[in-house]
Structure formats: C-alpha cells, structure tokens
C-alpha cells in the first residue's frame, strides 16, 4: 500500500474548492492525481462515474499514460472489492472518458454542438503550415484591395504603410497585422482588446500621468530596476570595505548609490526622473594602484561594468522622451494605430470566413 505524505494526502482528499498542486518532476504528481480521481469514484456520495470527469493533459502521450494508470488503479480496486458493480462499470466507461489534451476535448465538444455555432460538423483541424499559408493569402488580398479604394479612404491606410513599412514594399504591414492578430487571439474578446489598444492612444492634452496605465507600469518597472541596481552596488561596496578589498573603488561606488537613491526619489514624476537620468554621469573607478585582493578587485569591476552598461543603455532607451513628448507621440500615432486595429479586425473576419468556407479550424478556434 502506498504511503502518502501529508501534502500528497491533502491534494488527494481536499474538496469543495479549487486547488493547485506544484511539485518537482518525479515527485509523484501523476500518482496523486490518479489517486484523487479514484477516490472521487469510490468515496463520493453519491458515487460519480469516470465519464463525468474531465482530465486535461498537455500531450496525447500523457493522456494515454493517465488513462492506463487509472485503468490499473481501477483493476486493483476491483480485486480488493470484487463485488462492486460501480467499480466494474468505471472500467467499462474508461475508454470513453474525457482524458485527453484540452484541444482534443474541445474538438469533441465542437463536433457535438456544431449546429449551435454555424460550423460544419465535418470540419478538419488544419496543420500549422496550412494555416500560416492561408493567413498570408488573406492578408495579401486585404492589402491589395485597400490599394484599389477611393482616394478619400486611402489617407489613413497610407499613413500606416508609410509608418510601418520600408521604402521597397509593404510586407512589414502584413507582418504587423498578423502579429497583432495572433496576440489579440490570446484574449477572450480579441476585438474588444484591439479597440482598447487604439483607445489608449487617444489622449487629451491635459491628461495627468497617473491616468496613463502604461506609464504607471513603466515607472514601477523603473523603480524595480533601480532597486536591483542598488542591491548590486551595495554588494560591491561590501566587498570593497573588506580588509583586503579595493577600498579605492569606494568613491565611485558610493557616488553610484547617490545616483540610484536620487533617481528613486524622482520616480513618482516622469519628467523629474527623465531629466535626471538623461543628465546623470557616472564616475569612473579609481585607477590608483593599491595593495588588495585581485579576485575581489575583478569581482567589483565586473559588477560595476555591468551596472554602468545597463545604466547608460537604460538612459538612451527608456528616457529619450519627456512626458509632453510622449503625449505628442501618442497623438501622432493615434490615427495610424486606429487604422491598424481596423485592418486586424477586418483580417480576422475574412480569415474566419475563409476557414468556414473550407470547413477548417485551428487550435485557437477550438
């Protein structure tokens, strides 16, 4: 008989709420799950049937292994209780139980209820290559049709082409549409998400920075990065202060801490932080020759070089614009972003229509 740990036993027996079991590979998660299922079949009042349980796995191989393990566990339970009609019934129901990948389960459900969602019940799941080729055909056709529209309808479209493609062709626009479509489809309501993306660029000139969600996240990320810098430089300072440490590096390291602490104080207001970061200059490590531990000296040099490189790169990439410039950029981009989201939504509609005509579905549809 298996001896379960207290944590495993809790995972097997706990009921009445959602549970999450996290454990290392080879620690017995599958065995625990099988036992949990068996206990549901044996001890539930009233007892449940195996085909009332959904067991979703990542791969078909894992699903087959799970089915086999449950079968073996049922056979063992029947040996211990050979008169149980309920257990024998579970063994006969096992092959039609929903033990599969999530996509396989979805396929079964969609076929069963296809008449409710205007899908051909004889649909075929297209492979990845087929779907990618179909997407490309649809987006090429969409762009070609746009070039043939009346001049009054072309202005925003040409803005998109000019902004997001090279001088030679418009392939980048098609790529952008496909990337945004793929990203949007990860959301439960993709069209609503796309509209929110466009709306985020539509800002009043007098908007406050704490009303801009992405800027709030950017400042939070900046604070986290500064705290990370602070931890690394403090570690270098501890090494420099050791008896055989390179104490002559302390001046530059303590200056680094001052820079970091000043920047942290300015994180609530973007312009204050941006202005400080763009004008900040880091001191160089002292080149004075002193007696010290060479390994500790090299360790500080490595920490300092990484910090200096990240700080300077950060200045150029994150802090190239003040708050007003950001708002002006958003206003400039708004018509183009709005048109891009319209193109993605139109692509989505056309792509779905083509799949419906050809009785195809992809994993996202399922």
Say what the pLDDT of residue 1 is: 64
Rg (CA), the chain: 31
* Model pTM score: 0.70
Between strands 54-57 and 124-125, the pairing is unpaired
Say what the pLDDT of residue 120 is: 87
Q: How far is CA 173 from CA 142, 149, 152, 164, 194, in A?
A: 11, 17, 20, 6, 16
Rounded to 5 degrees, what angle do the CA atoms 17, 19, 25 make? 165
Using CA atoms, how far apart are residues 219 and 289, in angstroms rounded to an integer?
Answer: 40
pLDDT band at 119 (very low <50, low <70, confident <90, very high): confident
Say what the pLDDT of residue 84 is: 86
DSSP structure class, residue 283: P
Using CA atoms, how far apart are residues 193 and 341, in angstroms rounded to an integer?
Answer: 10
pLDDT in tens, 155-191: 888 888 888 887 677 789 999 999 999 999 999 999 9
Contacts of 65 (CB under 8 A, 6+ apart): 30
Q: Confirm if 266 and 223 have CB atoms less than 8 A apart.
A: no
Say what the pLDDT of residue 2 is: 76
pLDDT in tens, 136-158: 999 999 999 988 887 777 888 88
Helix ranges (DSSP H) in 125-170: 128-147, 151-164
Mean pLDDT of 207-224: 90
Question: How many residues appear in the chain?
Answer: 366
Evaluate the CA torsion angle 137, 139, 143, 146 in order and state its sign.
positive
pLDDT at residue 205 is higher than 80: no
Rounded to 5 degrees, what angle do the CA atoms 5, 8, 10 make? 110
Single out the residue of 48, 39, 128 nearest to residue 77, CA to CA: 39
Using CA atoms, how far apart are residues 10 and 20, in angstroms rounded to an integer?
Answer: 11
Q: What's the distance, Cα to Cα, between the start and end of the chain in Å?
A: 41
Say what the pLDDT of residue 151 is: 77
Helix ranges (DSSP H) in 14-59: 29-43
Say what the pLDDT of residue 44 is: 67
Percent of the chain with pLDDT over 70: 99
Using CA atoms, how far apart are residues 106 and 133, in angstroms rounded to an integer?
Answer: 24
Rounded to 5 degrees, what angle do the CA atoms 86, 87, 92 make? 95
Say what the pLDDT of residue 256 is: 95
Q: Confirm if 119 and 110 have CB atoms less than 8 A apart.
A: yes
- CA 306 to chain CA mean position, Å: 27
Least confident of 45-49, 125-129, 284-288: 45-49
pLDDT in tens, 307-359: 999 999 988 888 988 999 988 888 889 999 999 999 999 999 999 999 999 99
Query: Within 10 A of 32 (CB to CB), how many other CB atoms are there?
Result: 21
Locate 345 and state its tokens: 């939504």
């Amino acid at each position: 008989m298996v001896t379960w740990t207290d944590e495993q036993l809790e995972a097997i027996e706990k009921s009445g709420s959602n549970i999450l079991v996290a454990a290392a590979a080879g620690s017995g998660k599958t065995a625990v799950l099988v036992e949990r299922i068996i206990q549901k079949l044996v001890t539930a009042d009233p007892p449940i049937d195996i085909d009332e349980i959904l067991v979703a796995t990542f791969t078909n191989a894992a699903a087959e292994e799970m089915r086999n393990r449950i079968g073996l566990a049922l056979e063992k339970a029947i040996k211990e209780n050979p008169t149980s009609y309920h257990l024998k019934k579970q063994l006969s129901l096992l092959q039609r139980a929903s033990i599969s990948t999530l996509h396989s389960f979805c396929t079964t459900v969609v076929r069963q209820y296809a008449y409710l969602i205007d899908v051909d019940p004889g649909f075929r799941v297209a492979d990845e290559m087929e779907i990618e080729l179909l997407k490309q055909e649809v987006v090429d056709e969409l762009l070609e049709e746009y070039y043939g529209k009346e001049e009054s309808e072309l202005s925003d479209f040409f803005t998109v082409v000019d902004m997001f493609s090279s001088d030679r062709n418009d392939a980048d626009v098609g790529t952008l549409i496909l990337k945004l479509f793929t990203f949007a489809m990860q959301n439960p309501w993709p069209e609503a998400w796309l509209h929110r993306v466009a709306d985020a660029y539509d800002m009043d000139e007098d908007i406050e920075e704490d009303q801009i969600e992405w800027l709030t996240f950017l400042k939070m990320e900046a604070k986290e990065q500064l705290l990370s810098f602070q931890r690394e430089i403090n570690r270098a300072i501890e090494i420099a202060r050791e008896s055989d440490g390179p104490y002559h590096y302390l001046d530059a390291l303590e200056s680094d801490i001052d820079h970091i602490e000043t920047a942290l104080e300015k994180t609530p207001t973007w312009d204050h932080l941006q202005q400080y970061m763009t004008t900040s200059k880091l001191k160089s490590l002292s080149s004075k020759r002193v007696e010290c531990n060479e390994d500790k000296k090299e360790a500080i040099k490595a920490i300092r070089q990484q910090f200096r490189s990240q700080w300077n790169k950060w200045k150029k990439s994150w802090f190239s614009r003040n708050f007003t410039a950001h708002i002006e950029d958003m206003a400039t981009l708004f018509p183009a972003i709005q048109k891009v989201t319209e193109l993605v939504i139109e692509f989505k509609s056309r792509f779905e229509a083509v799949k419906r005509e050809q009785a195809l579905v992809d994993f996202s549809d399922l």
